[in-house]
Each structure stands twice: as C-alpha cells, then as structure tokens.
Amino acid sequence: MSELDELIDFLADKRPHILLAALDIIKGLSGSPDGINQLKSRIEKLLVFLLRLVPVPDPDSDKIKASESSLTCLVNLAQEPEVVIHMLEKRVIGRLMDYLRDGLCPHHRLMAMLISNLSMSDEGCKDLLQLGLEKLEGLNMAVLLKRFVVSGVDFVEGRPDPFEHLAGVLVNVTRMPKGRQLLLQPGRGLLQALVSQLQSPNEIRRRGCAGALQNCCMQAEEDGCLTNLLQDEMVLARMLKPINGEEPKEKDTIVRQSMSRALLALASTQLGRDALWKIKAPDILKKGYEDEQDPEVCLAMEQAAELFIFNSQVNDVGSGENLSAGAGQN
C-alpha cells in the first residue's frame, strides 16, 4: 500500500485529531498543481472519502471542521477538468443541492464555490439544469437563484456573503440556451431580480450578473427570448445604469464591459432599438460615453450609437419615399 493510500485511509479514522490531521495534509496537496497531480492517481478512492465527510447531520465541532476541510479539498480539485468528470459521475451537484435544501451542511460559501467550479463544464451545466428530467428541469437553478437573490437583499458590506459565488454559476449556465431561457421566463421575476444585483455593493455579484445578462442579450433573438427581455422598461433602464455615467458610478471595468456589450447586442436588433429609443437610451448613454475611459466600453457604445443613427436615417428616408410616392399618385 502506498503512502497516499494510507493517508486517504486515515479519512475514515474515528479519532478526530487523526482525521483532521490527514485532511490538513490532503488540503495542502490540493492547493498546488503538483499536489493535485499526486492526488489524481487515487482520485476515485479520495472522492468517496471526502464526500462522506461533507454532510454534518449533528452539530459536532470536529465534524463541522472535517466538513469544511473536505469541501475545501473538493473546491481545489474541481479546478481540474479530469477530476470534474469523476465528480459528476458521483452526482456531486445533486448531493450538494440535497445538503443545501435539507440544511445538512453549514458551509454555504464553499458549496457555492464548488457548484460554480463544476458548472464551468458543459456537462456540469447540464447536470445543474437537470436537462432531460422534464418535471425537475430548472428546479436546482430556481433554488439557487432564490438563495442568491434573498442573500443579496440582506447583504451588508463588510460581512461575509455566503452565496456570492453563485454569481459565477449564473454566467456558466447562461452559456447554454436552457439556462438563458430559464432566466428570461416571463412571470417568474428572475430577470428583474438579476438586474437588481447590478447595484450590489459586492463586486463578485455585479460581475456575475453582468456576465449573465450579456450572455442573455447576445443570444436573445436566436433563443426566441428577445420580447421577454425587452418588455419591462424598468429592467432596461437598470441595465444601462452601470454605463450611463450617473452617480454612483460603476467602478469595475469588467461590469461596464459586459453591460456595454449587452447594449450593443440589443441595439443590433430592430426590436431592441425600438425599446431602447422608448427609454431615451441614446441620450442617457451620451453622458456615460463622455466620462468613459475604457477603450472596449467606448468602442461598444460607439458601435451602438452608429446603429441608432444609421437606422434612424434609414427610417427617415423610408418615410420620405412613401410620402413622395403618395404625392405622385394624386
């Protein structure tokens, strides 16, 4: 038996100090590429032992510590695509969702980080969205979105934000049509809730929501969701806020880049331009453009402005031709 096998076997030891010491060593290994390569040689066995330690049915301090260390190891290991495949085979996302719903694990931040890492792969996204399970499809995301939004409303700057990393999950799942369609489903208020997080004091939340909105806007016409996206003028106005130059200004460049690309995507469609004209988007964005320093944001705003101007001129010419034709018939 190798030294690594012996170390992993200690994860089943009934003596808390032995178990925790073994976890500390494995946690250290999982924190470096070389260490992860070592652990990968026994990944099947290691995952079985680590996953057993995640749920904490009893409020025992040693079990809580063991659960935290196990999750930390899993988060680190889930950065490796090969390991993610093994985790998905062991239904790790489903287990985490069960623990979250049943209150069996207090380490919500680590659980959110692990789900975020797992959903970076297409298979992980499909798993999380429960694609192919008709009655359950989207249920996991509905649970996570509720946790994300409610915790965002209660968030106080300077305090821990256990569900902030669900923002990364939103970016990941909106790479897929089903994920985008779920967020834009009419009548559920998910889009409104997502847009509200653009004003969060938490930068991780703002970045994730902006990235998810960019994904939704860029594919909205193709997905058949453009009308759902545009029907609420308040949502559109809030989407422009990070790039409109008004106080308090959005300081994060990544958020502004995402929202400027989202604006450009909407302005590239006739329906999008019509909706943006209604809320006077060209005038609103003029101030934002004057103050903007980032070249990528400026370029997207310039391209959007060109679309507004060009299509406005085309419409004017078209109206003129119709009037001229009518005059010629009289």
Q: List, for residues 2-45, the tens digit of each pLDDT value.
A: 999 999 999 999 999 999 999 999 999 999 999 999 999 999 99
Assigned fold of 1-119: Leucine-rich Repeat Variant (1.25.10)
Q: How confident is the model at residue 313 (pLDDT cuts 50, 70, 90)?
A: low
> For residues 242 and 283, is the Cβ–Cβ distance under 8 A?
no
The pLDDT value recorded for residue 318 is 45
Average pLDDT, the chain: 91
Q: How confident is the model at residue 68 (pLDDT cuts 50, 70, 90)?
A: very high
59 by DSSP, 3-state: which?
Answer: coil
Alpha-carbon distance of 193 to 209, in angstroms, equals 10
Identify the CATH homologous superfamily for domain 169-316.
Answer: Leucine-rich Repeat Variant (1.25.10.10)
| Domain edges within the chain | 1-119, 169-316
User: Does pLDDT of 319 surpass 70?
Assistant: no
The answer to whether 1-119 and 169-316 have equal CATH topology is yes
Q: Which residues of 195-220 are buried (b: 16+ CB within 10 A; e: fewer)?
A: bbbbebebeebbbbbbbbbbbbbbbb
User: Does pLDDT of 95 surpass 50?
Assistant: yes
User: Does pLDDT of 322 surpass 50?
Assistant: no
Q: List, for residues 134-180, the tens digit of each pLDDT value.
A: 788 889 998 999 899 888 887 777 788 999 999 999 999 999 999 99
> For residues 196 and 238, is the Cβ–Cβ distance under 8 A?
yes
